[in-house]
Structure formats: C-alpha cells, structure tokens
Amino acid sequence: MFKLAQVIKIRKAHGLHGVLSCELLPAVSYYGFNVHNMTDQDLFFKDNTKLEIEKIFGIVKNTFKMKLKNLNSIEEASEFAGQKVFIKKEEDFLILEEIIGRKVKKGSEFLTITGIYDFNAGIVLDTEEDMILLEEVKEIYE
C-alpha cells in the first residue's frame, strides 16, 4: 500500500506557452527527492493523475519552471495554480508534513511541532519554544 507525500506546490502560470512556476517544498530532501532528479520520479496530483513532464528549467534554490506535455497556453497552465504535486511512498513511511501539530519530547517537556525547515544542514523541527534537529528526535507523539 502507498500514500502520497507532497513534494511540489505549483505557484502560477509563467509566460504564454503553458509553463508552470513551481516551488519545491521544504524537507523533501528527506525523501531523497530534489529538483535535479524529479524527472526520474513518478509524480502525481492528489487524484492520482500522473504528471508527464516535458522539461524542468530555471532552477533557483527551491523554485523552478516546469513544462508539462500537452499544456500549451497560459489559460491551461493557470488552471494548475495552487495545485499540489506528490510522490508515492510506502504506507509506513513518515511524511514530515504529517507531524505538524504532534509532540516531541525535550527533557521532561512535550513540545508541539509548528513547522519543518530544511536549511541544508539537516531538517529542523520548529516548536512553540525551540528549534530541534530531526536527527535528535527519538520519538514523535500524537
């Protein structure tokens, strides 16, 4: 069984020829996914429709342009604004965005996770009191 892990947010149409302006979500490097290997991965919309990527270009940090096959106008591309793009992962795989709102233990305190960031030095969990490296977390609580 599989579940979907969000990796990309389509921000808006870019230009007149069906190009999409996209953003790679924070922490997706945890899944072994990055902007340079995404054409090797099967990508899906929430309804399980598979994306057919024609090309990826204009990569700047976590933003890039994506051209899908059979998407040829700004009107068609505009319909995708705000859409989320996913990869399939094993059912027991931890999807980081799912832990927002859960608790981690630091010392004797339980702190609520409020955000997740990837600063290229490791994934950081933001809580209401402190920031904690994911690799330091032994357990995540409901």
Residues 116 and 26 sit within 8 Å (Cβ to Cβ): yes
Q: What is the mean pLDDT of residues 46-65?
A: 91
Structural element, H or E, at residue 62: none
Domains of the chain by residue range: 2-94, 100-136
| DSSP reduced 3-state for 68 | strand
- The model's pLDDT over 111-123, given as tens digits with 9 standing for 90+, comes to 999 988 877 667 8
The CATH number that domain 2-94 falls under is 2.40.30.60
For the whole model, what pTM was predicted?
A: 0.68
- In this prediction, residue 129 has a pLDDT band, given cuts at 50, 70 and 90, of confident
User: Which pair of tokens denotes residue 103?
Assistant: 């608790």
Predicted pLDDT of residue 50: 92
The average confidence (pLDDT) of the chain is: 85
Phi/psi of residue 135, nearest 5 degrees = -65, -15
Q: Which amino acid is at 141?
A: Y
